[in-house]
Structure 1
Amino acid sequence: MTPIKTRLAASAAILLLSACATVGTESQMATPVPEAAPAPAATQQSEGERLAALFRESDEGSLRRNPVSAIFRGDMRYADRLGDYISDEYLAAEKAAAEADLAALARIDRARLNATDQIAYDVFKYQTEDTLKGYTPEIMALSVVRPINHFSGFHTFYPTFASGEGAAPFKTVEDYENNLKRHRDYVIYHDRTIERFRQGLASGVVDTKLTVQNMIDQFNLQLKEKPEDSPFYRPVLNFPEGFPEAEKARLRTAYAASIRNDIYPVYTRLRDFLQNEYLPKAREGVGLVHMKGGATLYDRLIESTTTLPLKADEVHQLGLREVGRIRSQMEGIKNEVGFKGTLAQFFEHLRTDAKFKPASRDALRDGYYAIGKKVDARIGEQFSTLPRSPLEIRPVEPFREKTAAGGSYQQGTPDGSRPGIFYYNAYDLPSRTTYGMETLYLHEGAPGHHFQISLAQENEALPAFMRFGGNTAYVEGWALYAETLGPELGLFTDPYQRFGHLDDEMLRAMRLVVDTGLHAKGWTRDQAVEYMLANSGMGRTDATVEVERYIAIPSQALAYKIGALTIQRLKAKARDQLGSAFDPREFHAQVLMTGSLPLTVLESKIDDWIASKKG
Structure 2
Amino acid sequence: MKKTSAAIAAALLCAATCAAMPTANAAARSSAADARFKAIYTQEWKWRQRQKLEEEEDDVSAVSSTLPKVDPATQQARLTYWQGVMKKLDGVVPASLSEGERINYLVYRAQIGALIDNQRFREYEKPLNADSSFWSNMASDARKTFRTLPEYRAYVAQLNDVPRYFREEMANMRAGLKRGFTPPKVTLLGREGSLTAVTDEKDVTKLVFYKPFRDMPASIPADEQARLREAALKAIRDAVVPAHAELLAFMRNEYIPGATEALAATSLPDGKAYYQSKITEFTTTSLSADQIHDIGLKEMAKIRAEMLGVMKQVKFDGDLPAFLNFLRTDPQFYAKTPEELLMRAAYISKRFDGKVSDYFGYLPRKRFAIIPVPPEQAPYYTSGRGGPGVYLVNTYNLPSRALYSLPALTLHESAPGHAFQMPIALELKGRPEFRKAYISAFGEGWALYTERLGVEMGMYETPYEVFGMLSYQAWRASRLVVDTGVHAKGWTREQAQAYLRDNTALSNHEVETEVDRYISWPGQALSYYLGEMAIMEARHRAEKALGAKFDIRNFHDTVLNLGSVPLPVLQARIDAFIADGGKSPYPKDE
Q: What TM-score results when the alignment is normalised by the length of structure 1?
A: 0.85
How far did 1:53 drift?
A: 4.1
Does the Cα contact within 8 Å between 2:162 and 2:243 map onto a contact in 1?
Answer: no
Which among 361, 385, 396 is matched to residue 408 of structure 1? 385
Partner of 2:393: 424
Does the Cα contact within 8 Å between 2:127 and 2:134 map onto a contact in 1?
Answer: no
Distance in 1 separating the partners of 2:459 and 2:510: 24
Distance in 1 separating the partners of 2:63 and 2:236: 22
Distance in 2 separating the partners of 1:407 and 1:66: 27
Partner of 2:68: 83
Partner of 1:447: 416
- After the TM superposition, which residues 596-611 of structure 1 pair with which residues of structure 2 at under 5 Å, given as runs? 596-611=564-579
Q: Partner letter of residue 239 of structure 1?
A: M
How far did 1:78 drift?
A: 5.8
Partner of 1:281: 258
Aligned: 1:66 with 2:28: no
Partner of 1:548: 516
- After the TM superposition, which residues 271-420 of structure 1 pair with which residues of structure 2 at under 5 Å, given as runs? 271-411=248-388, 420=389
Aligned: 1:475 with 2:443: yes
Distance in 1 separating the partners of 2:285 and 2:92: 26
Aligned: 1:438 with 2:407: yes
User: Whose helix fraction is larger, Structure 1's or Structure 2's?
Assistant: 2
Does the Cα contact within 8 Å between 1:145 and 1:197 map onto a contact in 2?
Answer: yes
Distance in 2 separating the partners of 1:189 and 1:196: 11
How far did 1:192 drift?
A: 1.3
- What SS does structure 2 have at the residue aligned with 1:193? helix
Q: Partner letter of residue 114 of structure 2?
A: D
- What SS does structure 2 have at the residue aligned with 1:215? coil
Aligned: 1:128 with 2:112: yes
How far did 1:282 drift?
A: 1.8
- What SS does structure 1 have at the residue aligned with 2:230? helix
Q: What TM-score results when the alignment is normalised by the length of structure 2?
A: 0.89
Q: Partner letter of residue 132 of structure 2?
A: S
Q: 1:594 to 1:206 in 2, by over 3 A?
A: closer
Does the Cα contact within 8 Å between 1:209 and 1:282 map onto a contact in 2?
Answer: yes
Deviation string for 1:182-208 (max 9, x for gaps)?
123332221112211221233233432
Distance in 2 separating the partners of 1:149 and 1:534: 25
Does the Cα contact within 8 Å between 2:103 and 2:569 map onto a contact in 1?
Answer: yes
Aligned: 1:584 with 2:549: no
Q: 1:254 to 1:484 in 2, by over 3 A?
A: same
How far did 1:562 drift?
A: 0.6
Q: 1:75 to 1:129 in 2, by over 3 A?
A: same
Partner of 2:225: 248
Q: Partner letter of residue 474 of structure 1?
A: F
Distance in 2 separating the partners of 1:229 and 1:73: 25
Which among 122, 127, 131 is matched to residue 147 of structure 1? 127
Q: Partner letter of residue 426 of structure 1?
A: T
- What SS does structure 2 have at the residue aligned with 1:394? strand
- What SS does structure 1 have at the residue aligned with 2:404? coil
Distance in 2 separating the partners of 1:131 and 1:277: 29
How far did 1:508 drift?
A: 0.1
Aligned residues with identical type, % of pairs:
33
How far did 1:50 drift?
A: 4.1
Distance in 2 separating the partners of 1:204 and 1:451: 40
Q: Partner letter of residue 488 of structure 1?
A: E
Distance in 1 separating the partners of 2:185 and 2:393: 28
Deviation string for 1:521-558 (max 9, x for gaps)?
22222222222111111111111111111122111001
- After the TM superposition, which residues 516-535 of structure 1 pair with which residues of structure 2 at under 5 Å, given as runs? 516-535=484-503
- What SS does structure 2 have at the residue aligned with 1:595? coil
Partner of 2:561: 593
Does the Cα contact within 8 Å between 2:181 and 2:260 map onto a contact in 1?
Answer: no
Distance in 2 separating the partners of 1:557 and 1:423: 19
Question: Looking at both structures, which has the greater relative contact order when contacts are Cα pairs under 8 Å and sequence separation is at least 6?
Answer: 1
Deviation string for 1:480-504 (max 9, x for gaps)?
1111111332312311111111011
Distance in 1 separating the partners of 2:177 and 2:339: 46
Unpaired stretches in structure 2, ≥5 consecutive residues: 1-27, 584-590
- What SS does structure 1 have at the residue aligned with 2:460? coil
Does the Cα contact within 8 Å between 1:285 and 1:524 map onto a contact in 2?
Answer: no
Unpaired stretches in structure 1, ≥5 consecutive residues: 1-41, 412-419
How far did 1:103 drift?
A: 4.2
Aligned: 1:205 with 2:174: no
- What SS does structure 2 have at the residue aligned with 1:409? strand
Number of residue-to-residue matches in the alignment:
555
Partner of 2:166: 190
